[in-house]
């Protein structure tokens, strides 16, 4: 092996280098064995998926569904009944997506973590049925303060709050019923920015963990987030990052952002407010 080198090395150096090569060969063999075993396992899983889903999906669909499962880390606990059920739902939703894209003008629909949920599941996920039925008297009382929206007249047809950049980036609430926190925090961020502060990102997780009047990952009200923020302020998103599960509330430096909030009760009030001041949080109470 060392014949090709022009320099003749002392024996101990050669010995050491031989050892290194020996070790490398050993690692390479181990690596190949592992790769081989892993490939067989991967092949086995693929074949199983094909076998289990043969009544539900064709080969290409199975391949796409396997990619879907990998991308969104779904395994359905290896339950074949559940796997078939989800594959079926996914197939229907995929057909809806393709149909929408065929006629969509200026936008494209795609898959996400909900593509294997049926309509009822998605509805339950978006809004807890019990919460939707509750009207909260104390919230209404708070909201009878000033109604700035009522004094405005809507003048414009369109407005794009991305220019100048008033909008923080699009976020993903994951598998946690925290829409109320996202809606309210986003409205606060836009208002905060609109008032001349630099574009800041505040924490939804703080709301989920700390605002006792809401229900963590099981829903809540933007109004209560505004009320909470008046008293406790908002932590920066970076120091109280999003986890998507309810955890223990902890204290970090906060900014006092909200002094008051208004309830807008008609669409034209919302339009006006949106036009003049930016984001409104909408809640379907
Ligand atoms: C498998 O999933 C089905 C629903 O698709 C469920 O009814 C059944 O209880 C599950 N089986 C196990 C062992 O979890
Ligand atoms: C507003 O927040 C304060 C402080 O946490 C609380 O005492 C009050 O009950 C809240 N009001 C509503 C309507 O949630």
User: What fold characterizes domain 122-276?
Assistant: Cathepsin B; Chain A (3.90.70)
Ligand nearest to the CA of 82: 1
Q: Is the CB of 107 under 6 A from ligand 2?
A: no
Segment 123-152 mean pLDDT: 47
Ligand 2 centre and the CA of 30: distance in Å? 62
Can you say whether residue 219 is alpha, beta or left, with left for phi > 0 and alpha for psi between -120 and 50 degrees?
left
Q: Where are the domains of the chain?
A: 11-103, 122-276
- 120 CA from centroid of ligand 2 (Å): 33
Q: Residue 140: pLDDT band by 50, 70, 90 thresholds?
A: very low
Which is more confident, 6 or 184?
A: 184
Residue nearest to atom 8 of ligand 2 (CA): 227
**What percent of the chain has pLDDT above 70?**
72
Q: Label residue 110 by pLDDT band (50, 70, 90).
A: very high
Between 114 and 248, the higher pLDDT residue: 248
Rounded to whole angstroms, the Cα distance separating 172 from 179 reads 10
Nearest CA to ligand 2 atom 10: 227
- Give the whole-angstrom CA distance, residue 241 versus residue 41: 37
224 C-beta closer than 6 A to ligand 2: yes
Residue 227, ligand 2, Cβ within 6 A: yes
Q: Each residue of 14-50: b (16+ CB within 10 Å) or e? A: eeeeeeeeeeeeeeeeeeeeeeeeeeeeeeeeeeebe
Per-residue pLDDT tens over the stretch 20-55: 667 767 667 666 666 666 555 555 566 588 888 999
| Ligand in nearest proximity to the CA of 232 | 2
> Is the pLDDT score of 95 beyond 80?
yes
pLDDT at position 62 over 90: yes
Q: How far apart are CA 195 and CA 239, in angstroms?
A: 23
Contact of 207 with 253, CB cutoff 8 Å: no
Ligand 1: list residues with CB < 6 Å.
Answer: 79, 81-82, 85
Q: Which residues are bridge partners to 218 per DSSP?
A: 177
pLDDT computed for residue 41 by the predictor:
59
In short, whether 138's Cβ falls inside 6 Å of ligand 2 is yes
């Amino acid at each position: 092996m060392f014949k090709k080198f022009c320099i003749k090395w002392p024996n101990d150096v050669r010995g050491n280098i031989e050892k290194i090569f020996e070790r490398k060969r050993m690692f390479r063999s181990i690596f190949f064995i592992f790769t081989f075993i892993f490939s067989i396992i991967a092949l086995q899983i693929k074949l199983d998926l094909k076998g289990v889903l043969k009544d539900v999906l064709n080969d290409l669909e199975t391949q796409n569904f396997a990619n879907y499962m990998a991308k969104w880390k779904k395994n359905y606990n290896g339950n074949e009944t559940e796997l078939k059920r989800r594959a079926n739902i996914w197939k229907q939703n995929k057909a809806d997506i393709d149909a929408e894209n065929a006629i969509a003008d200026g936008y494209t629909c795609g898959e996400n973590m909900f593509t294997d949920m049926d309509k009822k599941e998605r509805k339950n996920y978006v809004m807890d049925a019990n919460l939707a039925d509750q009207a909260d008297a104390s919230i209404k009382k708070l909201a009878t303060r000033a109604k700035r929206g009522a004094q405005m007249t809507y003048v414009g047809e369109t407005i794009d709050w991305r220019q100048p950049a008033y909008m923080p980036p699009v976020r993903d609430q994951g598998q946690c019923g925290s829409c109320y926190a996202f809606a309210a925090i986003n409205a606060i961020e836009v208002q905060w920015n609109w008032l001349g502060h630099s574009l800041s990102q505040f924490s939804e997780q703080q709301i989920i963990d700390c605002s006792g009047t809401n229900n963590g990952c099981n829903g809540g009200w933007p109004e209560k987030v505004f009320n909470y923020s008046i008293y406790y302020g908002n932590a920066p998103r970076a120091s109280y990052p999003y986890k998507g599960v309810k955890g223990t509330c902890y204290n970090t430096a906060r900014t006092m952002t909200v002094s008051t909030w208004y309830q807008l009760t008609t669409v034209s009030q919302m339009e006006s407010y949106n036009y003049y001041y930016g984001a409104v949080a909408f809640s379907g109470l």
